[in-house]
Structure 1
Amino acid sequence: MNAEMKIEQLTSIEAHLNELSDLLVQVVDDGASIGFLPPMKRSEAIDYWSSAMNPDVILLVAKLRGKIAGSVQLHLCSKQNGGHRAEIAKLMTHTGYRRNGIGRSLMLGAEKRATQEGRTLLVLDTREGDPSNSLYTSLGYIQAGRIPDYAQSANGEFHPTIFYYKNNLG
């Protein structure tokens, strides 16, 4: 991990709303498949972040020189039969900071927090062919399946998604 990088958990959005919204707009407009289509309006990003936090969401951010360079969410399962699992969601790294270990550091931070929360199983999905597939497999995530035509891109094309899991954390 870059010595200047810090992984922090945010417990409220207000003080970081502008930076988080800028990050979301930037990665969506760059083509990230995280539930939104480009071009993304800033107001959409603000609306998203304004409602993103709840007791079952742990939000981690990577800061470089005090600025948010990436984020990831850990969604804790609140179902009675799912207290051992969580989902990794919306891993984002600002394009200006990519290839610096930010995504890997955020994932490791999410895994650590999952373990602290007593979670032993993590699940996630990502568009087939995206660079994140290599990151997840390098971290020991196992491909569980592929669903064709899962996500639509801005040009109307449909793309498959790959589901991954990592078991026996901690």
Structure 2
Amino acid sequence: MIIRRLDARAIGKVRTQLATLLLDAVADGHSLGFLAGLDDVQLETYWCGVEREVARGTRVLLAAERTGVLVGSVQLDLCQKPNGSNRAELQKMLVHCTMRRRGIGSALLEAAEIEALSLRRGLLFLETEAGATAEQLVGKAGYVRVGELPEYCSTPNGHWRAAAIWYKTLFSRVRPC
């Protein structure tokens, strides 16, 4: 397996595979901001937006490949606020359902942390559906669970769920006195 950072041009070349990953996750019931019935227009709009953000340098997209096929991806949304240059949000970690439980999620998470460090982002955070298997993954990786927001998001089929908030400090900018 190879994990690589995709630039805007590369995203354009693999957009169909990225769409397949997202469709697979939504069909599997994962709450990723989309509802059941996700169509080609919504997929194109979403991935074109990601491509623009990557081109602007406000988002990083990492992809896991096996034999030339994308099997997973994760994004880092880089905070653009002047007082938030130390943080990034992990978003849309996707692993195709046929490839789960093979260490791809862990490898993507580790690669995202390395990327964050290279960008001087010492605080990573994410939200995921409370009780989802993603919580086990991030817990094992050293993330700290802050708590839950009730009825934060809907599953693709319209069931309201709580979101769990997690963070990990990679390094601190605060120096002891």
Task: Report if TM-score (shorter chain) is over 0.5.
Answer: yes
Other-structure match for 2:45:
47
Do residues 11 (structure 1) and 7 (structure 2) align?
A: yes
Tell me the number of residue pairs that the alignment of Structure 1 and Structure 2 aligns.
166
Higher helix residue share: 2
Q: 2-side partners of 1:128 and 1:11: how far apart? A: 32
SS in 1 for 2:142: coil
Structure 1 counterpart of 2:81, one-letter code: K
Contact 2:34 2:156 in 1 (8 A): no
- What is the TM-score normalised by the length of structure 2? 0.90
Shift of 1:46: 1.7
Other-structure match for 2:175:
none
SS in 2 for 1:24: helix
Q: 1-side partners of 2:147 and 2:137: how far apart? A: 17
Do residues 123 (structure 1) and 119 (structure 2) align?
A: no
Deviations 1:74-114 (CA, angstroms, capped at 9, x unpaired)? 01111111111110000000001111111110000000000
SS in 2 for 1:109: helix
Other-structure match for 1:157:
159
- What is the TM-score normalised by the length of structure 1? 0.93
Other-structure match for 1:64:
66
Shift of 1:48: 0.7
Contact 2:58 2:80 in 1 (8 A): yes
Other-structure match for 1:148:
150
Contact 2:5 2:61 in 1 (8 A): yes
Which residue, out of 88, 110, 113, partners 1:111? 113
Which residue, out of 91, 106, 121, partners 1:89? 91
Structure 1 counterpart of 2:29, one-letter code: G
Structure 2 counterpart of 1:56, one-letter code: T
Shift of 1:42: 2.6
1:20-39 correspondence to structure 2 within 5 Å: 20-39=18-37
Shift of 1:156: 2.9
Q: 2-side partners of 1:120 and 1:157: how far apart? A: 34
Contact 2:35 2:158 in 1 (8 A): no
Unpaired stretches in structure 2, ≥5 consecutive residues: 173-177
Contact 2:29 2:157 in 1 (8 A): no
Deviations 1:49-87 (CA, angstroms, capped at 9, x unpaired)? 011131210000000111000000001111111111110
Q: 2-side partners of 1:65 and 1:103: how far apart? A: 17
SS in 1 for 2:50: coil
Q: 2-side partners of 1:34 and 1:16: how far apart? A: 20
Contact 1:70 1:93 in 2 (8 A): yes
Q: 1-side partners of 2:157 and 2:96: how far apart? A: 23
